[in-house]
């Protein structure tokens, strides 16, 4: 029987797959067809309360936090079970998220599932106890140790754009570190989380309460995780506006806050670059998953003397990347997640015109699609870096091209942003590309098309793009506490 036939309208609380206590459900919708796929459990405060209590009990009262071998085994078991369900899970992801199928073989499913193995490997080889040697402070000869311990109960709050990537990039390292987790899924993609919850409950030895999965149409359940004193860490991915609220709410109980937020990343083309190749890549990047990626480069900084050449190259590339059926293996640009998100993107397109910009291509809905939340790949020209469409996150297939006057100016424009999540640099001379990359104040940079994404590579933002790093050893350590211990030498 498929996961869908078994039922995805359930929460996972204390090891039990069950409906919301009230029995309420809400619809999850296919953004490419606007059809209701089915229903999800609509949890309320009492369900979240039970999930937090279960996670607290599992952390305080079981050997999960101390038994590394057990955790490593369970994580590999979870990875294998998710891989065994790969075909159905990839299909569900295309249906619910509108993710083009080619992405489900990458960061929308297969890669984050495989990365659970990296989290297990890190836990297995990690130096949990470091010998800091001997010293005699105040004349007391002592042997000192640094212990790393799990941070406790993690409240994981996630968005809809890459739900498996983000859910699993929190679950894997948090579980590997010995934490227990309450995962609060995004209201637009509840099934992505509940399917993982069902697999955990039925096909792994992860003990009851160690992972709790809560789906809800109510954003307040995320806020509940930020304020509840039984939660030790809030690991949040979402918009900068919500991240600010999470940080403020968490301050009462002074819990550790880990934030992965928005971006307005720059794609810098220097004047000795292959402009056509660079602009083809810039167009491809912003069209991928209809631009619904926090680290997608959405400002194209072109050398002034080669601006028109760059614009023509983007327009030519976008002509072949038109919004299409996510089930078509050739589709790069699928639908936006919802009518609300399409309204938001169309609002920015209207603003681009009001601000004095124009569209070199795109600028509206594709004429051949009257259902689904599609927007055409769009290139905005005629605006500077001070325009709102160049400063605010749009989260759609919208690229803003801006001229620059040399390497220093390009770097200054790239850094002239409240955000600092990611960036790209293209140059003929790799040393020039590297010099610009080093000066960009962002958590990740691609040099001449290199791809930094991976479970072993830390990801996160400078400035208002976040606090902390996800993935890699740094990401794993976000879910640990440090304890220094001394004994007489
Ligand atoms: P969002 O901030 O609206 O919601 C994210 C999550 O927070 C959802 O689960 C939501 O229910 C919950 N939430 C809402 N209000 C809350 C509150 N007051 N307290 C706690 N939780 C609350 O974001 P979204 O629209 O779902 O996702 C898009 C945003 O996510 C974009 O800004 C994008 O850049 C960002 N994002 C960032 C990364 C990253 O790693 N930096 C990755 C993906 C998406």
Number of H helices, E strands in the chain: 17, 22
Domains of the chain: 3-261+466-488 (3.40.605.10), 265-454 (3.40.309.10)
How many whole angstroms separate alpha carbon 275 and alpha carbon 257?
41
Q: 187 CB less than 6 Å from ligand 1?
A: yes
**Span 77-96, mean pLDDT?**
98
* Predicted confidence (pLDDT) per residue in 207-265, tens digit: 999 999 999 999 999 999 999 999 999 999 999 999 999 999 999 999 999 999 999 99
First to last CA, the chain: 61
Structure tokens given for 66:
């101390």
Q: What ligand 1 atom has the least distance to the C-alpha of 243?
A: 2
Q: What is the pTM of this model?
A: 0.97
Note if 149 is an active site residue. no
Q: Residue 377: its pLDDT value, please?
A: 98
User: pLDDT tens digits for 422-451?
Assistant: 999 999 999 999 999 999 999 999 999 999
**Would the CB of 186 count as within 6 Å of ligand 1?**
yes
In a 10 Å sphere around its CB, with 0-12 CB exposed, 13-18 middle and 19+ buried, how is residue 353 labelled?
middle
223 lines ligand 1 (CB under 6 A): yes
Interatomic CA distance for residues 41 and 22, integer angstroms: 9
CB 301 within 8 A of CB 413: yes
CA atoms of 64 and 118, how far apart (whole Å) = 19
Closest ligand 1 atom to residue 216 Cα is 11
157 CA to centre of ligand 1 in angstroms: 8
| Residue 150 three-state SS | strand
Residue 238 Cα to ligand 1 middle (Å): 2
Find out whether the beta carbon of 235 lies less than 6 Å from any atom of ligand 1: no
Active-site option among 260, 376, 393, 478: 260
pLDDT band (50, 70, 90) for residue 90: very high
Task: Tell me what pLDDT residue 141 has.
Answer: 98
Average pLDDT, stretch 275-296? 98
The CA 42 to ligand 1 mean position distance, Å, reads 18
How far is the centre of ligand 1, averaged over its atoms, from the C-alpha of 206 (Å)?
A: 27
pLDDT for 96-151, tens place per residue?
999 999 999 999 999 999 999 999 999 999 999 999 999 999 999 999 999 999 99
Residue 78 is encoded by which pair of tokens? 């979870």
260 lines ligand 1 (CB under 6 A): yes
Q: How many percent of the chain have pLDDT more than 70?
A: 100
Residue located via tokens 């926090």: 294
Is 291 near ligand 1, meaning CB less than 6 Å away? no
């Amino acid at each position: 029987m498929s996961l869908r036939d078994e039922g995805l309208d359930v929460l996972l609380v204390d090891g039990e797959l069950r409906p919301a206590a009230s029995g309420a459900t809400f619809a999850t919708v296919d953004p490419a067809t606007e059809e209701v796929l089915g229903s999800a459990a609509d949890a309320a405060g009492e369900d979240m309360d039970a999930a937090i209590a279960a996670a607290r009990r599992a952390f305080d009262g079981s050997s999960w936090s101390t038994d590394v071998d057990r955790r490593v085994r369970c994580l590999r078991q979870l990875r294998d079970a998710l891989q065994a369900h790969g075909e159905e899970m990839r299909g569900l992801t295309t249906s619910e998220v509108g993710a083009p199928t080619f992405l489900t073989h990458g960061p929308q499913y297969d890669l984050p599932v495989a990365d659970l193995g990296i989290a297990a490997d890190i836990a297995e080889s990690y130096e949990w106890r470091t010998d800091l040697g001997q010293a005699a402070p105040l004349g007391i000869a002592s042997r000192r140790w640094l212990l790393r311990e799990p941070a406790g109960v993690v409240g994981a709050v996630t968005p809809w754009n890459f739900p498996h990537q983000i859910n699993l990039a929190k679950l894997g390292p948090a579980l590997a570190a010995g934490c227990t987790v309450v995962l609060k899924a995004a209201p637009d993609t509840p099934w992505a989380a509940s399917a993982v919850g069902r697999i955990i409950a039925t096909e792994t030895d992860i003990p009851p309460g160690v992972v709790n999965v809560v789906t809800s149409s109510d954003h307040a359940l995320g806020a509940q995780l930020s304020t509840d004193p039984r939660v030790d860490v809030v690991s949040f991915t979402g918009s900068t506006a919500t991240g600010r609220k999470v940080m403020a709410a968490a301050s009462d109980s002074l819990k550790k806050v880990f934030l992965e937020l928005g971006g307005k990343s720059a794609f810098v083309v220097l004047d000795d670059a292959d402009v056509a190749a660079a602009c083809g890549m810039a167009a491809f990047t912003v069209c991928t998953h209809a631009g619904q990626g926090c680290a997608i480069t959405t400002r194209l900084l072109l050398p002034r003397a080669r601006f028109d050449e760059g614009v023509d190259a983007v327009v030519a590339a976008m002509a072949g990347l038109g919004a299409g059926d996510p089930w078509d293996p050739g589709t790069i640009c699928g639908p936006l997640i919802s009518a609300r998100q399409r309204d938001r993107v169309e609002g920015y397109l209207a603003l681009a015109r009001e601000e004095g910009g124009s569209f070199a291509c795109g600028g509206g809905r594709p004429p051949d699609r009257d259902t689904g939340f599609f927007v055409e790949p769009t290139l905005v020209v005629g605006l500077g870096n001070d325009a709102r469409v160049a400063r605010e996150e749009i989260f759609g297939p919208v690229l803003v091209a801006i001229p620059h006057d040399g390497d220093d100016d390009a770097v200054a424009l790239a850094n002239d942003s409240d955000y600092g999540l990611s960036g790209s640099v293209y140059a003929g001379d790799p040393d020039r590309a590297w010099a610009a990359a080093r000066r960009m104040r962002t958590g990740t940079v691609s040099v001449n098309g290199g791809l930094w994404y991976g479970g072993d590579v830390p990801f996160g933002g400078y400035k208002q793009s976040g606090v902390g790093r996800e993935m890699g050893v740094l990401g794993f350590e976000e879910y640990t506490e440090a304890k220094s211990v001394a004994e007489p030498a």
